[in-house]
Amino acid sequence: MDTMCNKPRKQILAIISFLFLSFIFSANNVSAADGAKIFKQNCAVCHSLGTNKLTGPGLAGIATRAPGDEWLKKWIKNNDALRKSGDAYAIKVYNDNNQVPMSAFEFLSDEELTALVEYIKAPPAPEEKKKDGAPAADGDAAPAEQGMNPLALLIGIVAFLIIIIAVLRGVRFSLKNLQNEKQGLPLEEQVGPWTELKTWMGANKTKTGLVILFIVGGLASSGWYALKGIGVYEGYHPVQPIAYSHKIHAGDNAIDCQYCHSGVEKSKTAGIPTVNVCMNCHKGISEGPTTGKTEIAKIYEAAGWDPDKGAYTKPEKPIKWVKVHNLPDFVFFSHQQHVKVGKQDCANCHGDLKTMTTAQQVQPLTMAWCIDCHNKTEVPTMKDNPYYESLHKKLAEKYKGEPITVSKMGGIECAKCHY
């Protein structure tokens, strides 16, 4: 027994220690891949890896131009200190770039700096991108085509069954007559399927009634639900003029929702980012991982930015996005009310955009859906917000320990949303 038990234990220990070691190893060994990430997060806004100048100079050939890796690390970490130490090359770089100081990156560890420098010195060659246009738009349509339409499937199955039944009936009839012929019995007359059904129905009235009831009930209820679905666009994900991916921005790059939707705590609308917000990053990032330069070029077109000259030279052309979440005009929904006061997470209504390529309406956005949530949700800030002090006291008295939901505060009254 002992040996039997010891063996797996050792194995477990070995696995744990391996995982631990590999964790330490991975933590210590910041690879060039991490260098890419660090670069993207911190540097790409102002520096390109090519020769073109953004806010700062292009970094191609930095290995040969700069005095050395250690110098580079010092410069990145705190260029101001380096300049003040009287480093001649540092001062030269500063003067060459119109004396626009670079930010300090004191928070980068030595390992990270090493990885970053390695990455900058030898960036991976840009991959050849597929040239076919608007892949995101195609991608949108694709899933719908791949998945079988359930209705068609159902009709197919029913039709198949009917054919099978018809064939089997014929087969049965032929076999029966064949048998009858063999046994010398009189041949049965071919009875039409309809007559046979009627005979069967006459004999089994209860079953027939149940079937009819089932069919009528089914039709009525499906009709009812179909009517209720009018005007509900759950799952709506229109093709946008730019194949923008929430997954890449909010998911992979973990950009906070409010960086772009900055009105969410200030206004009733969260706001669609204006092109100048896109340009904050995309001045430097002219190429994306899935669509290459084509989609980002559309931002440049809208902003009037000439990436070659690095200047806004052309006329501005606003981007006409397609609105995904549409509420009727007679509904007043306030984002600040829900996000700032009610502390709701964006995902509660908008779904997990970090995994969505194109924004999609994941909730029905019907009044029933609103009320359902208001009936269940407590206001998290109610206890601490002095605004609610007296109201909270009175409601706590009234409902004695019951959760004080939004509805109990009057949150489902008509004029809270309709005026």
Positions touching another protein (CB under 8 A) are: 227, 230-231, 233, 236, 238, 262-263, 266-269, 271-277, 302-304, 316-323, 326, 328-330, 332, 334, 336-337, 340-341, 381, 384-391, 394-395, 398, 409-410, 413-416, 418-419
CB of 364 to another protein, least distance (A): 14
260 burial (CB, 10 Å; 0-12 / 13-18 / 19+) is buried
CB of 391 to another protein, least distance (A): 4
Of 88, 91, 97, 87, give the one whose Cα is nearest residue 57.
Answer: 97
**Which residues make Cβ contacts (< 8 Å) with residue 396, sequence separation at least 6?**
404
Nearer to another protein (CB atom), residue 201 or residue 277: 277
Q: Which run of H or of E encompasses 168?
A: helix 150-183
CB of 177 to another protein, least distance (A): 51
CB of 319 to another protein, least distance (A): 7
Nearer to another protein (CB atom), residue 217 or residue 231: 231
Q: Which run of H or of E encompasses 312?
A: strand 311-312
In degrees, to the nearest 5, what angle opens at C-alpha 362 toward C-alphas 358 and 364?
140
Nearer to another protein (CB atom), residue 77 or residue 408: 408
CA distance 368 to 365: 8
Nearer to another protein (CB atom), residue 58 or residue 307: 307
3-state secondary structure of 167: helix
CA distance 166 to 160: 10
CB of 78 to another protein, least distance (A): 31
Nearer to another protein (CB atom), residue 117 or residue 365: 365
Nearer to another protein (CB atom), residue 70 or residue 306: 306
CB of 61 to another protein, least distance (A): 34
Nearer to another protein (CB atom), residue 198 or residue 317: 317
Nearer to another protein (CB atom), residue 77 or residue 266: 266
3-state secondary structure of 253: coil
CB of 151 to another protein, least distance (A): 16
CB of 238 to another protein, least distance (A): 7
β partners of residue 292: 288
| DSSP labels, 197-209 | HHHHHHH-HHHHH
Q: Which residue has the tokens 């991108």?
A: 129
CA distance 265 to 262: 7
Q: Which residue has the tokens 């705190």?
A: 78
CB atoms within 10 A of CB 410: 12
